[in-house]
Amino acid sequence: MLARYAHLLTHYCLGVKPGDKVFISSTLLAEPLVRAVHREALEAGAALVETDLAFRERDRTLMNVGSEAALATPSPLWQQAMETFDCYLAIRAPFNLRESHSTTPERAKMRQDAMAAGQKAYFARTATHEMRRNLCQFPTDASAQEAGMSLSEYEHFVYSACKLLEPDPIAAWLQQRATQQHIVDHLNKCKTVRYLGEGTDLTFSTAGRTWINSDGQTNMPSGEVYTSPVEDSANGTVHFSFPCIYQGREVENVTLWLKEGYVEKWEATRGKDFLDHIFSLPGTRRFGEAAIGTNYGINRMTKNILFDEKIGGTVHLAIGQSYLQTGGKNESAVHWDMITDMTRGGEIWADGEKIYENGQFLI
């Protein structure tokens, strides 16, 4: 299974070519998959494959006891990779999903500021495909427990969501691409989108913006179509029925009120203090993304945004950083996806036409 996964990541997701420089980041738990991708990339002709494997509590120790100088100093390997490498594979393989809970907002901001230049290079180079990147998951006990599954159940869930159980995973993803392209082609002819649902009536403009077909090449698994709304265009209310999770923090029943693209008011039944903090940061009170989940093979929440935002029959919006490749202009150190169910009466209208109802497209 890991050999199939490595083949998919190397050839379909990253498209490694002879001479490419490849950077892989993960934790020691994912060593079996890292080893398989390392071999596959070299066999594909990569000139350099560098790895960064975090050990248990590495980041927690830095954030809690590191000096201000340590917090202000980004990894030179990571910085160089973001600025010059051809491919970047980030493999999530957490030891502990609550590791960062004791970090103070002040120290977290210092670290975010230190990483800002590398993050800017990352967004700019991935937007133009100068750097090909992919984010994927290696099953660990921590993620399985968060999802409410045994490790073996979670492994099956991950591999199934990535279509690795299909006879030809690449062919399966090419079919997903074709299905989503029909949706993207229609949305790219429209200028105004309206999300309607329980507690939600939100309208925004996509004039001059591009809807993107997320077909597994930048995220594995994928299954969504997305864009960046015009920054001052969102008006109305949106309620997120799924728990909103960011930096290991969970906020429940989030409702946002927007006027001319700006979040004027917000509520949550749990975790509002963290939401208050996030909305105090630059660029977070505008949407950087609007998206529709299209992977009907993912049918349950696992508290992992890589999977949850792709659930067929949901939509999500992200506060903060826009995607340059869609034409988005909002800048922020934060990109927080928030999801809501559309299967119980949800509708999407585009230029006055109903194109989606109860979690299914009508076009």
Measured between alpha carbons, how far is 121 from 52 in angstroms, rounded to an integer?
19
- In this structure, whether the domain defined by 2-138 belongs to CATH 3.40.1830.10 is answered with yes
The CA distance from 207 to 191, in Å, is: 5
pLDDT band at 287 (very low <50, low <70, confident <90, very high): very high
Judge whether residue 197 has pLDDT over 80: yes
Percent of the chain with pLDDT over 90: 93
Asked if pLDDT for residue 273 goes beyond 80, the answer is yes
Please report the pLDDT score of residue 247 as a whole number.
84
Q: How far apart are CA 25 and CA 71, in angstroms?
A: 19
Residue pLDDT, tens place only, 28-41: 999 999 999 999 99
Between the alpha carbon of residue 306 and those of residues 44, 126, 254, the distances in Å are 27, 18, 19
- Percent of the chain with pLDDT strictly greater than 70: 100
pLDDT exceeds cutoff 80 at 229:
yes
pLDDT of residue 99: 84
Q: How does the average pLDDT of the chain come out, rounded? A: 96
* Residues paired with 356 in a beta bridge: 348, 361
Distance separating alpha carbons of residues 214 and 219, to the nearest angstrom: 8
Q: pLDDT for 40-71, tens place per residue? A: 999 999 999 999 999 999 999 999 999 999 99
CA 38 to CA 48: how far, in whole Å? 10
| 254-259 and 235-240 strand pairing | antiparallel
pLDDT above 80: residue 311: yes
> Can you say how many angstroms the Cα of residue 46 is from the centroid of all Cα atoms in its chain?
26
| pLDDT of 163 over the 90 cut | yes
Distances (CA, A) of 209 to 213, 290, 320, 322, 338: 13, 11, 17, 11, 21
Are 33 and 137 spatial neighbours (Cβ–Cβ below 8 Å)? no
Question: Position 264: which residue type?
Answer: E
Q: Is the pLDDT of residue 248 over 90?
A: no
DSSP 8-state class, residue 316: E
Task: Taking residues 131-160, report their average pLDDT.
Answer: 97
List all residues 6 or more positions away from 77 whose beta carbon is below 8 Å from its beta carbon. 23, 50, 52
Q: Which amino acid is at 312?
A: G
Q: What is the reported pLDDT for 98?
A: 86
The pTM of this model reads 0.85
Q: What is the model's pLDDT at position 9? A: 98
199 pLDDT above the threshold of 90: yes
Q: Give the whole-angstrom CA distance, residue 363 versus residue 356.
A: 8
| Continuous H helices in the chain | 2-7, 31-43, 58-65, 68-71, 76-84, 105-127, 141-147, 151-161, 169-187, 272-278, 305-308
- Which H or E run includes 330? none
**For residue 141, what are its two tokens?**
């006990």
Q: Give residue limits of the domains in the chain.
A: 2-138, 169-361
Which pLDDT belongs to residue 243? 95
- pLDDT at residue number 104: 87
Contact predicate 313/296, CB 8 Å: yes
Task: Name the 3-class secondary structure at 233.
Answer: coil
